[in-house]
Structure 1
Amino acid sequence: MSEKWIFLNTGFRNGNFNMKFDEHLAFLFSKGRIRPVLRVYGWRPYTISIGYNQDESVFDFEKIKNAGIGFVRRPTGGRAVLHAEELTYSVVMNSYGKSVIEIYNLISRAIVRGLNLLGVELELAQTEHDFRSFYKDFKSIPCFASSAKYEVQFKGKKLVGSAQRRFGDVVLQHGSILIGEFHRKLPEFLKIDSIEIVEKIRAEIEEKTICLNEILHRNVSFDDVAEALKQGFKQEFGIEFEDKILLDEEFEIEKLDLISL
């Protein structure tokens, strides 16, 4: 019999909700109160998220506020992402003794299998930067400026950016699947006086990233990506899903303890 997972669609929420919700899922799973989860969600308003240890002082919060964009720190590592025209996924599961890179590989294979159903031929990155030196460079600020091993690419360009954290044997991994191009505006919100440097960062993102709309030459919907991702995980993990949809705008994280997952 196939293992049962939860497929959870929480719709479009603000950054604080999205990050706290992921952490709370990991907490509930660690207590044995829920099964493994594949969650899909979006961001309203568009939001910049930064890694757990990333310096926020490089961002211009006045520009961010005036643009109506949110800002949040993730519970995972990695670099900055402007969450906009994308589908964000999160996975909560047991590590079963597998390393961080092994889980990255497993989840990335499921993502590739799913997105291939949309007509995309993707590959996994096989090499990665020397991040110790890379993070000293201004170009390291955006997540999509580089690829880690086993991240999802199209012809060498990054399509999915992911980050992972462990809570004992519990894995929390989430990531952005780019649908449109709005993420490229991230450099506009950096506190950098040099226009030349901002343009270099912008060029770096444009050179090294790609989105589904660009690959497929059509507008891809959030729902299309969600369904493809679901099928990819079913096939790669050999699992079955029970669907849950939480779209109530008044939904509070605390109520998660009370619903049947």
Structure 2
Amino acid sequence: MTNNKFRLIPLLSASGKVQMAIDAWLLEQHRLGLHPPTLRFYTWSPAAISLGYHQRRWPDFWENLSWENSRLDLVRRPTGGRAVLHQGDLTYAIITSGITGSRIQVYQKLCEFLIAGWRSLGVNLHYGTTGRGYIHNPNCFATATGADLLLENGSKLIGSAQVYRDGAILQHGSMRLQPDRSLFSQVFPETPPPMINLSVNQQGESLIETVMQALISAAETCFNTQLVMHPLTDLEWQSIQA
């Protein structure tokens, strides 16, 4: 994963169904050797709950929740893990190949740019230590495994998940920037809402932009690569939607 140019797709806001279709399409194109390694950032509109690929149980009331006068989408991810609430968060996705090691080693290799980028903003992160017991909890952010990144107060800032296809890897994850505590409590009533204190002075879009720029710079260093901005083309959109 060195010396390749990565494609950087500009920030995109879209429904969860569209975002998951893009990630799945990028993975398949990379698996076929038709697309370079890629990094992208996106937000979910409307707000959504994403379910892990193998997750088969979740509360019935999730089907009827709303946020800002729009019903929360319930979307299936191509990756594993538990449910994630996507509101006030920024999602990253990285599609690449050629990384060796155990699954946790691959997670940590791909998370290097997240740790370095957030450190440049004055936020120190560390890996979680929870074992396999997390599979019994429907809420991804209720536990923290070695694939997850925690703030110094123990709150999970970034939860990530992976899927492999013939050596190609999709890893994507949610960064909780400005979560609404009341909505979180509605979705996960048995889990205390997160105590997120980022000590980054921006808000809203400027916070997203600040975080993205820090992570893009860190990715170029950690992956020894050049990120080349290239929006999705009309032809690519047609392929994704097909």
Smaller-chain TM-score bracket: 0.7 to 0.9
Partner of 1:78: 81
CA distance in 2, matches of 1:82, 1:71: 10
SS at the partner of 1:114? helix
SS at the partner of 2:40? strand
Aligned pairs (5 A) from 1:85-104: 85-104=88-107
Give the alignment's TM-score, normalised by structure 2: 0.86
Partner of 2:214: 228
CA distance in 2, matches of 1:145, 1:57: 14
After superposition, the C-alpha distances for 1:123-168 in whole angstroms (9 at most, x for unaligned) are 223x22332xx433xxx12110011114211112211000001111
Partner of 1:170: 168
Partner of 1:32: 33
Instruction: Give the direction of change, closer, same or farther, for the CA distance of 1:58–1:29 in structure 2 (3 Å limit).
Output: same
Partner of 1:152: 149
CA distance in 2, matches of 1:87, 1:169: 26
C-alpha deviation, 1:255, in angstroms: 4.5
Give the alignment's TM-score, normalised by structure 1: 0.81
Aligned residues of 1:14 and 1:43 also touching (Cα < 8 A): yes
Partner of 1:44: 45
Structure 1 unaligned regions, length at least 5 = 191-197
Partner of 1:244: 230
Aligned residues of 2:6 and 2:37 also touching (Cα < 8 A): yes
Counterpart among 93, 106, 110 of residue 109 in structure 2? 106
Aligned residues of 2:82 and 2:135 also touching (Cα < 8 A): no
C-alpha deviation, 1:33, in angstroms: 1.0
C-alpha deviation, 1:120, in angstroms: 1.2
Aligned residues of 1:81 and 1:183 also touching (Cα < 8 A): no
- More helix per residue: 1
Instruction: Give the direction of change, closer, same or farther, for the CA distance of 1:27–1:189 in structure 2 (3 Å limit).
Output: same
Q: Residue type matched to 2:177 in 1?
A: I
Q: CA RMSD in A?
A: 2.5
The number of residues matched between the two structures is 234
Aligned residues of 2:49 and 2:75 also touching (Cα < 8 A): yes
C-alpha deviation, 1:254, in angstroms: 2.4
Q: Which has the larger radius of gyration?
A: 1
CA distance in 2, matches of 1:5, 1:177: 21
After superposition, the C-alpha distances for 1:90-114 in whole angstroms (9 at most, x for unaligned) are 0101043332111110122210101
Partner of 1:117: 120
Q: Residue type matched to 1:12 in 2?
A: S
CA distance in 1, matches of 2:218, 2:238: 30
Instruction: Give the direction of change, closer, same or farther, for the CA distance of 1:91–1:210 in structure 2 (3 Å limit).
Output: farther
Report runs of 4+ in structure 1 exceeding 4 Å deviation.
Answer: 64-67
Q: Residue type matched to 2:224 in 1?
A: G
Structure 2 unaligned regions, length at least 5 = none
Partner of 2:237: 253
Partner of 2:202: 219
Q: Residue type matched to 1:147 in 2?
A: A
SS at the partner of 2:230? strand
Partner of 1:53: 54
Instruction: Give the direction of change, closer, same or farther, for the CA distance of 1:184–1:172 in structure 2 (3 Å limit).
Output: farther
